[in-house]
């Protein structure tokens, strides 16, 4: 589950990054409106939700939102705002915001609202993914093998999700790192290998093929 954070305040941005990462989300952080527009335009479909600050350099949150909706992108957007006037809320909703949170906020409330938004949009996010023996349902974040549910950590789930989105396609370590950890986080060199090892122990090592030096894949249709 990948979240785009758009926030120019370094303290709030870094605490959001830390909190969301701890909660098992992959988070990417951009600091101004232009970067937000670029991320949402060029990386269409990669993010499942955006946290959008209202007051931003270069483009305001409302302008980013307007451009996003005008382009037909229906990603859930939760506005983070220091202002709490009725007029602001009405304008935001008219422009296509899904929810508001007034700063300062409790992290628990942010997470609850994010979950609610993601549930509401779940049907639009992605249908269940299948291989011969595995099933992964993005709406419920559940994984099963031969019909039996398997408990995965958030990172293991993200890794398997990335692989099952493209069965039969090799994904390199760099591609997997980028998918699991985001592009703004430093990653220890063998973190992906450790994750693959624990994931394979749970789902069966034959469910993920490794071509040495090239990458990993789940088997595609034969
Ligand atoms: Ca701001």
pLDDT in tens, 80-121: 988 777 777 788 888 889 999 999 999 999 999 999 898 888
44 compared with 125, residue with greater pLDDT: 44
Instruction: Return all residues near 61 (Cβ < 8 A) that are at least 6 apart.
Output: 6, 33, 52, 53, 54, 55, 79, 81
Average pLDDT, the chain: 88
pLDDT mean over 203-216? 94
84 compared with 57, residue with greater pLDDT: 57
- pLDDT > 90 in the chain, percent: 55
Q: How confident is the model at residue 72 (pLDDT cuts 50, 70, 90)?
A: confident
Which stretch, 16-20, 67-71, 172-176, has highest mean pLDDT?
16-20
181 CA to centre of ligand 1 in angstroms: 25
52 CA to centre of ligand 1 in angstroms: 9
Domains and CATH numbers, the chain: 2-122 (3.40.50.2300), 129-217 (1.10.10.10)
33 CA to centre of ligand 1 in angstroms: 10
pLDDT mean over 122-144? 82
CA 187 to chain centre: 17
Instruction: Return all residues near 141 (Cβ < 8 A) that are at least 6 apart.
Output: 1, 157
55 CA to centre of ligand 1 in angstroms: 4
87 CA to centre of ligand 1 in angstroms: 18
Residue among 117, 110, 82, 111 at smallest CA distance from 96: 117
Say what the pLDDT of residue 123 is.
59
The strand ranges marked E within the chain are 2-6, 26-30, 49-53, 77-81, 99-102, 129-130, 134-137, 142-145, 148-150, 209-211, 215-217
Q: Is the pLDDT of residue 135 over 70?
A: yes
Say what the pLDDT of residue 134 is.
95
Q: Is the pLDDT of residue 144 over 80?
A: yes
Q: How confident is the model at residue 24 (pLDDT cuts 50, 70, 90)?
A: confident
90 CA to centre of ligand 1 in angstroms: 19
9 CA to centre of ligand 1 in angstroms: 6
Q: Is the pLDDT of residue 44 over 70?
A: no
- pLDDT > 70 in the chain, percent: 94
38 CA to centre of ligand 1 in angstroms: 18
| Local structure of residue 71 (DSSP, 8 states) | T
Say what the pLDDT of residue 78 is.
95
Say what the pLDDT of residue 184 is.
56
Instruction: Return all residues near 101 (Cβ < 8 A) that are at least 6 apart.
Output: 78, 79, 80, 81, 109, 110, 113
């Amino acid at each position: 589950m990948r979240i785009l954070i758009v926030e120019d305040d370094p303290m709030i941005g870094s605490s959001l990054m830390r909190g969301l990462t701890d909660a098992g989300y992959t988070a990417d952080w951009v600091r101004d409106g232009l970067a937000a527009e670029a991320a949402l335009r060029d990386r269409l479909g990669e993010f499942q939700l955006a946290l959008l600050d209202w007051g931003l350099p270069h483009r305001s949150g409302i302008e980013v939102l307007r451009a996003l909706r005008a382009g037909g992108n229906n990603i859930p957007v939760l506005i983070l705002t220091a202002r709490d006037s009725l007029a602001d809320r009405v304008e935001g909703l008219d422009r296509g915001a899904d929810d508001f949170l007034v700063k300062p906020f409790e992290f628990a409330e942010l997470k609850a609202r994010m979950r609610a938004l993601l549930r509401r949009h779940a049907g639009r996010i992605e249908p269940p993914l299948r291989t011969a023996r595995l099933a992964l349902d993005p709406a419920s974040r559940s994984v099963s093998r031969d019909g039996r549910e398997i408990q995965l950590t958030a990172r293991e789930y993200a890794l398997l999700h990335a692989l099952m989105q493209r069965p039969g396609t090799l994904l390199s370590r760099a591609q997997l790192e980028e998918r699991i950890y985001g592009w703004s986080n430093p990653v220890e060199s063998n973190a992906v290998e450790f994750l693959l090892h624990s994931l394979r122990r749970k789902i069966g090592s034959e469910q993920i093929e490794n071509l040495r030096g090239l990458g990993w894949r789940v088997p595609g249709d034969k």
